[in-house]
Amino acid sequence: MESTRILLEAHEIPTHWYNIAADLPVPLAPPLLADGSVAQPEQLGVIFPPAIVEQEMSTERWIEIPHEVRDIFRLWRPAPLVRAVRLENALGTPAKIFFKYEGISPAGSHKPNSAVPQAYYNREAGIRRLTTETGAGQWGASLALAGQMFGLEVRVYMVKVSYEQKPYRRMMMQTWGAEVFSSPSSLTECGRKILAEMPDTPGSLGIAISEAVEEAAGRADTNYALGSVLNHVVVHQSIIGLEAKKQLEKIGLYPDMVIAPCGGGSSFGGIAFPFLGDKAAGDKRAANLRAIAVEPSSCPSLTRGRYTYDFGDASGFTPMMKMFTLGHDFVPAGIHAGGLRYHGASQLVSQLYQSGLIEAVAVPQLATFDAGVQFARLEGIIPAPESCHAIRVAVDEALRCKETGEEKVILFNLTGHGHFDMSSFERYFAGALEDYEYPAEEVEKSLAKLPKFG
């Protein structure tokens, strides 16, 4: 029997990241400060090291991955590409379904792909401490791991609802030496202000980002690290798609569809952009490629948001970026895919969506768990709730192929395992998981407060 796993050797880990900023139809709109002026590199330098600021603004197509970073990647990369044969058979689809399994990292998701280089560049710049936010705990755990590898202290502001729902990720962070606080916290001015206004808030990524940025901006030895959204994070995650492309080439295939969950957009951009780069270069194999970002219907920034300038955090500390947003102070429902509870989407993903070069779909929570459980029973791997979003759409597309008889090649990003999300599955089996309506009124309120630029 043919193997369903397509593996690469350690020396096949890519040596360069791909940067889609080099291949955009029009350049990205620049980030703006609150007064409408263009944010300068020195201003980003208050919370980011020089190499990250450079990558954030770079339009170089290929960016070299430092040796020390690749050495750490070798602990778990290259990640396997797996053909989901048992899922295909159960669905009775003529489509070939492949997933890139990022849950193999020590933290259990794709997020160390950016945490490791971010910690490296900060250490190179003489920084001693990093602050960050985390939703479900995947990014906080990844940065705790990376900080440990490079001797940096890490402080994590963990969104309150996740702090309570996902205690084991908090313990992972602590095992890797990080300090973890429930956000909003009383450690920061913005945290105290939000607690005074909304004492029962479940928290949000936007709020936790405000707390982490406030602390980093106030201390010279401390920088901030963001787990998604920003260009440099999307660049780092391109390793996913670059490896997947090599793996598919080994068996003579090329995807017709690339599907990923979309929170801030780095895991989607990470797997899809290297293929879109082929398309931009006129590669015939990519001519009809579909790239599909999947978001929760309770937090649908691409499908229901507005394309405009908005802040990256709840309190308006970050520069404004032109992106699809639901409004920076919008607090999404406490869905179990904590990593998808972000009000906006990466500028790169947003611009490509606006230009019609990628697609987006919003799916309700219960349907994602239906697909995730079906997948676990056939393929063995228990997916993270965020990843269940991509599985839902991969299954739907495979079923569509069954109707049309098309033998499409479907590639999706299995961004992480769900071993620390089992209480979410427990609620699903108990019939206690809800679908949330799209909160039109809340979003309207939040959008009414958008900054007036762009």
CA distance 337 to 261: 10
CA distance 393 to 363: 8
Q: Are 388 and 61 in contact (CB under 8 A)?
A: no
Q: What residues pair up with 96 in beta bridges, in sequence order?
A: 409
Number of residues counted as binding ligand PLP (CB under 6 A) = 20
416 binds ligand PLP, rule: CB under 6 A: yes
Judged by CB, which is closer to ligand PLP: 247, or 387? 387
138 binds ligand PLP, rule: CB under 6 A: yes
Query: On the CB side of 51, how many CA atoms lie within 13 Å of its CA?
Result: 19
Subset of residues 333 to 352 that bind ligand PLP, contact rule: CB under 6 A:
339-340
56 binds ligand PLP, rule: CB under 6 A: no
CB of 416 to ligand PLP, least distance (A): 3
109 binds ligand PLP, rule: CB under 6 A: yes
Q: Could you identify the residue written with the tokens 């401490």? A: 129
Task: Out of 240, 262, 271, 352, point to the residue binding ligand PLP (CB under 6 A).
Answer: 262
261 binds ligand PLP, rule: CB under 6 A: yes
Strand order in the sheet with 179-183: 179-183, 153-159, 129-134, 222-224
CB of 271 to ligand PLP, least distance (A): 10
Stretch that binds ligand PLP, among 39-47, 190-198, 272-280, 382-390 (CB under 6 A): 382-390
Handedness of CA 120, 122, 123, 128 (dihedral sign): negative
Q: Which of 226, 262, 268, 323 is nearest to 100 (CA)?
A: 268
100 binds ligand PLP, rule: CB under 6 A: no
415 binds ligand PLP, rule: CB under 6 A: yes
Judged by CB, which is closer to ligand PLP: 127, or 321? 321
Task: Out of 49, 191, 203, 264, point to the residue binding ligand PLP (CB under 6 A).
Answer: 264
CA distance 418 to 428: 13
263 binds ligand PLP, rule: CB under 6 A: yes
Task: Out of 93, 113, 182, 228, point to the residue binding ligand PLP (CB under 6 A).
Answer: 228
Q: Which of 392, 402, 418, 435 is nearest to 292 (CA)?
A: 392
325 binds ligand PLP, rule: CB under 6 A: no
Q: Are 134 and 141 in contact (CB under 8 A)?
A: yes
Q: Which of 148, 192, 4 is nearest to 82 (CA)?
A: 4
268 binds ligand PLP, rule: CB under 6 A: yes
CB of 17 to ligand PLP, least distance (A): 15
Q: Which helix (H) or strand (E) holds 239?
A: helix 231-250
Q: What residues pair up with 416 in beta bridges, in sequence order?
A: 109
Stretch that binds ligand PLP, among 67-75, 115-123, 271-279, 384-392 (CB under 6 A): 384-392
384 binds ligand PLP, rule: CB under 6 A: yes
CA distance 217 to 38: 19
111 binds ligand PLP, rule: CB under 6 A: yes
Q: What is the dihedral of CA 54, 273, 106, 428, to 10 degrees?
A: 130
Judged by CB, which is closer to ligand PLP: 195, or 292? 292
Q: Which of 171, 169, 168, 193 is nearest to 183 (CA)?
A: 193
Length of the chain: 454
Q: Are 360 and 302 in contact (CB under 8 A)?
A: yes
265 binds ligand PLP, rule: CB under 6 A: yes
Q: Amino acid identity of 284?
A: K
266 binds ligand PLP, rule: CB under 6 A: yes
Judged by CB, which is closer to ligand PLP: 93, or 351? 351
55 binds ligand PLP, rule: CB under 6 A: no
Q: Are 122 and 223 in contact (CB under 8 A)?
A: yes
Helices (H), 251-322: 266-280, 301-304
Judged by CB, which is closer to ligand PLP: 267, or 318? 267
Stretch that binds ligand PLP, among 27-35, 45-53, 70-78, 258-266 (CB under 6 A): 258-266
CA distance 164 to 423: 11
Subset of residues 282 to 301 that bind ligand PLP, contact rule: CB under 6 A:
none
Judged by CB, which is closer to ligand PLP: 264, or 364? 264
CB of 212 to ligand PLP, least distance (A): 15
Judged by CB, which is closer to ligand PLP: 265, or 334? 265
Residues of this chain that interact with ligand PLP (CB under 6 A) are: 109, 111, 136, 138, 228, 261-268, 339-340, 384, 386-387, 415-416
